[in-house]
Structure 1
């Protein structure tokens, strides 16, 4: 058995866990019990990096020998953050606003290995352009996809072809974890995929 550090995902997101699993990583899951901050003085990039760091740190304090991965994904349109909708009416209103427009999805990621005093903190941004949606298309999408646990009221991996016209950047970032960058950073922390050298 090699001596690479244990990887812990500080998130209850099934989407992030699925992405890591599909990429071939073995990891534990310890959701961070910290409220996500909302702070107007910070840019969306700064805010999601701050929340990612707070999540990773909360878990790393109890697991200092592990590499802890914290992440926070934000959807924003013209600098306004579109959080998780509180009900279907709000979800429909968000999809109306996104219709025919380009918005940004930013994921902040914190990798923290407390024992060796090491952190990597970064954010990845992806531009997503929506199709023009009419009321029936919006209702149809909301009948099939539960929007209430999703920032911006949509999930690109669930019937994304119904609503998304074009994407510029990382697809996995829009799902919740920019795997291309995460894989490079994990390698620097000595965390390798199953079957990797």
Structure 2
């Protein structure tokens, strides 16, 4: 396996673009080479097989979607953070679409499903812990429900955006936060 980290990253970014544009069936090592503009066979020097490439794409999507630390300054506000998530999703649309393709591919590949379950489970736990440690409103179950609701909003925004046109997304986010993470625990 080759060890040039810049080349590996470029190949993974090319793979994300191919996966988002062509779907799982279109993701081949040769297609990744073509997208990256490198000689045929380059990707096979970095990824032993397609399953290895898929797992590496999963981890690269995380690297590309992590919030900019500059966005996390000041007192945390759940609505603001979810708005920033939506903005990142729209800016990095191909990364999110590739992530959805990985989820679908995981239904057919048990090894990818196991990796995705570990990966997403760790992400969810880290997000819940961060939310609670930051002193934001809500409890563990509310944060998980908010995660699931936001995931649904993201999927619809990516795949059928016209469905959401009658509903201002900012208002939907505000309502999700208000109903799922009430300020007063008695609510």
* Higher Cα Rg, which structure: 2
If the TM-score is normalised by the length of the shorter chain, which range does it land in? under 0.3
Would you tell me which structure has more strand in proportion to its own residues?
A: 1
**Alignment TM-score, normalising by the size of structure 1:** 0.24
**Alignment TM-score, normalising by the size of structure 2:** 0.25
Q: Which has the higher contact order (CA 8 A, sep 6+)?
A: 1
